[in-house]
Amino acid sequence: VFFGPRGREEFPNNTPFGTAPPDPVVAGDIAVAVTELDQMSTSVPVDQPWTASGADDWDRQTLDAWLRANTSGNAEFMAVTSAATEAIFGCEARELSLLYTLFYIAASGNEQNAGTFERNFNTAGGAQESRFVGGAQTIALQVAAQLGRRVVLNAPARRIAQSSSGVTVVTDGFSATAQRVIVAIPPTLAGRIDYDPPMPPLRDQLIQHMPQGTLMKFEAIYDTPFWRAQGLSGQAVSEIGPIKVTFDTSPADGSFGILMGFIGGHEARVWENRSADERRAAALQNLANYFGNEALNPREIVEFNWSSEVWNRGCPVAVLGPGTLIDFGTALRTPVGRIHWAGTETSTFWNGYMDGAVRSGERAAQEVLTAL
Amino acid sequence: VFFGPRGREEFPNNTPFGTAPPDPVVAGDIAVAVTELDQMSTSVPVDQPWTASGADDWDRQTLDAWLRANTSGNAEFMAVTSAATEAIFGCEARELSLLYTLFYIAASGNEQNAGTFERNFNTAGGAQESRFVGGAQTIALQVAAQLGRRVVLNAPARRIAQSSSGVTVVTDGFSATAQRVIVAIPPTLAGRIDYDPPMPPLRDQLIQHMPQGTLMKFEAIYDTPFWRAQGLSGQAVSEIGPIKVTFDTSPADGSFGILMGFIGGHEARVWENRSADERRAAALQNLANYFGNEALNPREIVEFNWSSEVWNRGCPVAVLGPGTLIDFGTALRTPVGRIHWAGTETSTFWNGYMDGAVRSGERAAQEVLTAL
């Protein structure tokens, strides 16, 4: 479903347009923007985006400025770009460096396939296609099961001290000493650890330039996935928030129905401060606009705001503004003494995704194995 | 002295152009840019810049994009803007939100006088006019003298816990409990304190969006202020770094000479990672270009990099990129329970300056007195 000031349209999600609405007012701009961004991204090396031949030019523009200069820039199209960046980055196009955006597109691929924006945002054949049976936490739980009692919970690292003989991680309750340590948390949290000796200036300032996006999930649970009977996939793209993008996150057996909506970027910053009742009413009205009035009466609502989580401080990924990659990018993965850096923001493929997080862990583990 | 690829020019600093070079290649663009920025800044309320009628438009542009769109954008002019933003903000124009820049200009005034860019960057009649006999630390030392033994040094606040009856600040060695607390440190450091309960999402994310600028001071000390004999003020503006702006910081009696140069923004990020010998040679060559070869042989050199200071992490002020003020600005001064916020970044006048820091302390103290 595509929803905007001109009303509601249904469209299939298996055309070459993918998840993007083929509406005539916005489709031309979307096609131009996606095609050109994809094309530019092919010249961005995922391991050193700051060395791209266009890097100087691209890292001084915001995505917003580039979009306005290279499309009609009409209000409806810009509203659709908000729907996209709010869901994908938890921010607005004005906050994104064009170079970082191009890197993010290039990273939406792998060793065999060039990244494309379509691969990033599509359900059919794209990053949004699959969900985990048992939930995304399965990755962490299965890693933890292999590690067994070596996993210590409820022990936030407060301080990391290095010496010539080892590195000590200090928590509230105990300390652990090792030859090497891997820090695999959001950059803004890595910056809040007390390091001895202190981080080099470039590393500390990189972290200061990597705020987390702002993202809330709003899930409305129904007795049945009633939209399916109307032939709808449960996906919507809307110019009007708070919820501008939705997905069907019902259980595989369809025994009940869940509509999940993202409230991101500017919408999240506004709506996280309003009352739960107001937010709930506005969000359910969004769902009713897309899928009919049956959406107004869920049997349960689950909301989650990553910005209020002490160990996230935002989601889904760090947002890099103009000038960050080109001046600070070299500090992203460079170990500092005995400290190595992992986490999805350090990944060269599927940066910002769970796939990238796992990749980064494997890369950092290999660094440590090589060093020992 | 103005220095660039076309060579070296001398110019007086008491013309209407102030500190800006009246060179024909750059003067037209400087005049247009300063005049228009000053004009736009008059509509920015210093206490709520996000409510300006142009705020939406201005907070999605970088200063760099605005400059290129509203001047010739020629390479020499853009190099001069780097000299300005590197010294004033410790960053490049690409990192600065236009709205934040306009606010910063508007804040370069006081209750009686509108701020102007000239007031910010000029020596004659501007913010760069005066220095403290005894050094800038005199402000802190005199405040400390009045407070006496109530000042506790070497006790970084690690944790601030609030309850219904009071607020407790925990340091490595001891805790202190009070009715109210004022946090008056750079925002990026305020974000590294562990708060209980945690900061509200908007406040925490504001802090994530306020990286400190990157600034080094390089001082070359000579037996005499030899440039004065040539009729030079010791001020230079250069298109070629690392040092692009200099001042005469000799003692008042002229008993010896000091040339102080700023290495800021991109230059600082590059040069802080090179060897001290390389940096020293490049910086002295800058000074020789401006003031003659006598500058090559100082009797002493003093360098200071604020980014490597654990309790600064950058200087002179936090740098706000596009989208920060408009989405997060309301959290800048809003107390969180018993915690009040001071520091120059919270000031409505002379934000980024020592004047603003003192003003912010007085405002926060008044907030606390009213609350008690």
pLDDT in tens, A1-46: 999 999 999 999 877 777 889 899 999 999 999 999 999 999 999 9
- Record the tokens describing residue A228, joined without a space: 């399916």
pLDDT in tens, B223-264: 999 999 999 999 999 999 999 999 999 998 989 999 999 999
The whole-angstrom separation of Cα A2 and Cα B86 is 46
Q: Chain B residues with CB inside 8 Å of A94's CB?
A: 59-61, 322-323
The whole-angstrom separation of Cα A320 and Cα B290 is 37
Q: Is the dihedral of CA B271, B273, B274, B276 positive or negative?
A: positive
pLDDT at A347: 97
pLDDT in tens, B71-123: 999 999 999 999 999 999 999 999 999 999 999 999 998 888 778 877 777 77
Q: How many CA atoms lie within 13 A of A224 on its CB side?
A: 6
Average pLDDT over residues B7-25: 87
For residue B289, pLDDT beyond 90: yes
The whole-angstrom separation of Cα B115 and Cα A295 is 53
CB contact under 8 A, A305 and B201: yes
pLDDT at B17: 77
Chain B residues in contact with chain A using a Cβ-Cβ cutoff of 8 Å: 59-62, 64-65, 91-95, 158, 188, 191-192, 194, 198, 200-202, 204-205, 208-212, 214, 266, 269, 272-273, 305, 307-308, 310, 313-314, 321-323, 327-328
pLDDT at B125: 72
pLDDT in tens, B140-190: 999 999 999 999 999 999 999 999 999 999 999 999 999 999 999 999 999
CB contact under 8 A, A209 and B211: yes
pLDDT at B326: 98
pLDDT at B271: 97
Average pLDDT over residues B39-51: 96
The whole-angstrom separation of Cα B145 and Cα B3 is 44
pLDDT in tens, A146-168: 999 999 999 999 999 999 999 99
Q: Closest Cα to residue B187, out of B314, B287, B39?
A: B314
The whole-angstrom separation of Cα B302 and Cα B323 is 38
The whole-angstrom separation of Cα A210 and Cα B211 is 9
pLDDT at A130: 80
Q: What is the distance in angstroms between the Cα of B314 and the nearest Cα belonging to chain A?
A: 8
Structure confidence at residue A296 as a pLDDT band (50, 70, 90) = very high
The gap from C-alpha B3 to its chain's centroid, in whole angstroms, comes to: 23
CB contact under 8 A, A313 and B208: yes
Structure confidence at residue A129 as a pLDDT band (50, 70, 90) = confident
pLDDT at B135: 86
Q: Please give the residue of chain B at the shortest CA–CA distance from A190.
A: B192
For residue A121, pLDDT beyond 80: no
Structure confidence at residue A112 as a pLDDT band (50, 70, 90) = confident
pLDDT in tens, B184-216: 999 999 999 999 999 999 999 999 999 999 999
CB contact under 8 A, B273 and A202: yes
Chain A residues in contact with chain B using a Cβ-Cβ cutoff of 8 Å: 59-62, 64-65, 91-95, 158, 188, 191-192, 194, 198, 200-202, 204-205, 208-212, 214, 265-266, 269, 272-273, 305, 307-308, 310, 313-314, 321-323, 327-328
pLDDT in tens, B57-66: 999 999 999 9
The whole-angstrom separation of Cα A357 and Cα B175 is 39
Q: Chain A residues with CB inside 8 Å of B93's CB?
A: 60
CB contact under 8 A, A204 and B64: no
The whole-angstrom separation of Cα B36 and Cα B63 is 12
Q: Chain A residues with CB inside 8 Å of B61's CB?
A: 62, 65, 94
The whole-angstrom separation of Cα B299 and Cα B303 is 14
Helix (H, G, I), strand (E, B) or coil at B352: coil
Average pLDDT over residues A194-201: 97
Secondary structure letter of residue A215 according to DSSP: E
Query: Residue B91's CB: how many other CB atoms inside 10 A?
Result: 28
Q: Chain B residues with CB inside 8 Å of A191's CB?
A: 188, 192
Nearest to B201 among A59, A191, A308 (CB): A308
For residue B13, pLDDT beyond 90: no
pLDDT at A132: 85
Q: Give the ipTM of the model, two decimals please.
A: 0.95
Taking all residues of chain A, what is their mean pLDDT, rounded to a whole number? 95
- Record the tokens describing residue A219, joined without a space: 């899930």
- What structural domains and CATH numbers belong to chain A? 17-121 (1.10.405.10), 138-211+316-371 (3.50.50.60), 215-308 (3.90.660.10)
R_g of chain A, CA atoms, integer Å: 21
What percent of chain A has a predicted confidence (pLDDT) above 90?
88
Structure confidence at residue B314 as a pLDDT band (50, 70, 90) = very high
Q: Kindly give, in sequence order, each residue whose CB lies less than 8 Å from that of residue B34, ignoring residues fewer than 6 positions away.
A: B20, B117, B118
CB contact under 8 A, B307 and A201: yes
The gap from C-alpha B348 to its chain's centroid, in whole angstroms, comes to: 14
The gap from C-alpha A225 to its chain's centroid, in whole angstroms, comes to: 26
R_g of chain B, CA atoms, integer Å: 21
The whole-angstrom separation of Cα A162 and Cα A193 is 13
For residue B220, pLDDT beyond 80: yes
CB contact under 8 A, A208 and B314: yes
Nearest to B94 among A265, A305, A323 (CB): A323
Structure confidence at residue B47 as a pLDDT band (50, 70, 90) = very high
The whole-angstrom separation of Cα A153 and Cα B286 is 54
Q: Chain A residues with CB inside 8 Å of B99's CB?
A: none
Nearest to B61 among A65, A92, A265 (CB): A65
CB contact under 8 A, A94 and B59: yes
pLDDT at A326: 98
- Record the tokens describing residue B306, joined without a space: 């604020």
Helix (H, G, I), strand (E, B) or coil at B371: helix
Q: Which DSSP string corresponds to B258-321? A: EEEEEEEHHHHHHHTTS-HHHHHHHHHHHHHHHH-GGGG--SEEEEEEGGG-TTTSS-SSB---
pLDDT at A285: 98
pLDDT at B325: 98
